[in-house]
């Protein structure tokens, strides 16, 4: 069976904090190694795109200034994004992108940035400039995939009222200082504060995202249908980090 995925990277020119570009590089390489056609398009402010025509939409992280600059354009796309989600386009959101799918975000200067309001969660700002910073490991269940996800978090935003968290925090902070859980996953979107970037450190999560993208046009496809790849280097790095923080695989 010939497979392909079509990806849209939104606001690639301003929402690429902490090397989030690496997520797209990993997806492309892992697809190419399996002879899966990987077609990547970008979408800047004011550029016309039908997001429902893509298998995967990616929105990375950015500082408050960047988030404020793109909000008018993002809100204009709300119904098209909703259409994409309804038609099984998978959405991958990192940090700022994750925040903007909720109700609102309170910036460091106290200004309120309105979100797309697809979900009930909202993001306040850390008091007196406090931030959640450091390595983070979470225990997550993504459909049939049970895995420990490793990353790096650096966010002042405190995301609250998250009803479908991505995973339980084993080391680090998560959605907020005392949340105990990190990110959001409901089958339609995967939102997380994990930078680093996320996918180079977590090849199984990369394969999960590839699978979700493929399923838009091939709903019976499963992650077990992907050709196995040699993840020795990545797994050795993961083992070293898990050992450092005394967490069992």
User: Which residues contribute to the annotated binding site for substrate?
Assistant: 131
CA–CA dist 196, 22 (Å, integer): 9
Distance (Å) of CA 39 to CA 9, 29, 31: 11, 12, 10
- Annotation: binding site: 131
Active-site pick, 8, 31, 43, 95: 95
The DSSP element (H or E) to which 50 belongs, if any, is none
12 an active-site residue? no
The greatest distance separating any two alpha carbons of the chain, rounded to the nearest whole angstrom, comes to 55
Q: Which residue has the tokens 């983070």?
A: 136
* Closest by Cα among 127, 134, 139 to 166: 139
195 an active-site residue? yes
* Closest by Cα among 43, 172, 160, 169 to 105: 160
Q: Which residues are catalytic?
A: 95, 195
């Amino acid at each position: 069976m010939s497979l392909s995925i079509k990806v849209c990277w939104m606001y690639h020119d301003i929402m690429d904090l902490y090397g989030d570009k690496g997520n797209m590089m990993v997806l492309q390489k892992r697809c190419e190694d399996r002879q899966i056609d990987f077609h990547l398009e970008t979408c800047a402010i004011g550029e016309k795109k039908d997001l429902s025509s893509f298998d995967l939409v990616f929105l990375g992280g950015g500082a408050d200034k960047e988030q404020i600059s793109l909000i008018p354009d993002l809100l204009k796309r709300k119904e098209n994004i909703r259409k994409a989600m309804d038609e099984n386009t998978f959405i991958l959101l990192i940090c700022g992108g994750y925040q903007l799918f909720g109700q609102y975000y309170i910036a460091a200067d106290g200004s309120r940035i309105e979100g797309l309001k697809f979900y009930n969660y909202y993001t306040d700002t850390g008091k007196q400039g406090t931030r959640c910073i450091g390595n983070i490991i979470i225990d997550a269940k993504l459909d049939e995939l049970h895995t420990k996800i490793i990353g790096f978090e650096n966010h002042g935003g405190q995301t609250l009222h998250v009803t479908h968290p991505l995973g339980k925090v084993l080391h680090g902070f998560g959605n907020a200082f005392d949340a105990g859980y990190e990110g959001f996953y409901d089958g339609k979107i995967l939102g997380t504060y994990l930078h680093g970037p996320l996918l180079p450190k977590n090849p199984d999560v990369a394969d999960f995202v590839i699978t979700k993208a493929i399923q838009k046009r091939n709903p019976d496809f499963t992650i077990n249908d992907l050709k196995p790849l040699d993840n020795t280097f990545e797994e050795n790095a993961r083992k070293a980090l898990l050992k450092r923080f005394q967490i069992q695989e």
